[in-house]
């Protein structure tokens, strides 16, 4: 069975935008600290995951399967180290390096 992949932050932003929402709106609506929803799209944060999933009408497991046990559906504690590694950024976003 193929391992499901997590939705990319861009996909999550697109899904939110289709419903007329932004990451900042999620922070305000669910009373999360500023930038929590945006950061949650890249790194694990239980409350942020629950807020985004609720706003999209999906389960957190469908958005971020790597953050949950595939057999039990329980959230992994602690999270695997690879869930904290950031995807490479576009070249023009790297400061201090020539393009």
pLDDT tens digit sequence for 25-69: 999 999 999 999 999 999 999 999 999 999 999 999 999 999 988
How many angstroms from the chain centroid is the CA of residue 64? Answer: 7
What residues pair up with 75 in beta bridges, in sequence order?
68
Q: Where are the extended beta strands (E) located within 1-49?
A: none
pLDDT number for residue 84: 73
Token code pair at residue 60: 């957190």
Q: Is pLDDT above 90 for 79?
A: no
CA pseudo-torsion sign 96, 97, 98, 99: negative
């Amino acid at each position: 069975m193929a391992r499901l992949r997590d939705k990319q932050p861009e996909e999550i932003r697109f899904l939110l935008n289709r419903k007329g929402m932004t990451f900042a709106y999620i922070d305000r609506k669910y009373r999360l600290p500023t930038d929590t929803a945006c950061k949650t799209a890249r790194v694990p944060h239980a409350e942020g995951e629950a807020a985004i999933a609720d706003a999209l009408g999906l389960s957190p497991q469908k958005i971020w399967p790597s953050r949950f046990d595939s057999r039990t559906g329980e959230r992994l504690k602690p999270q695997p180290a690879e869930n904290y590694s950031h995807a490479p950024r576009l070249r023009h976003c790297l400061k201090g390096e020539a393009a």
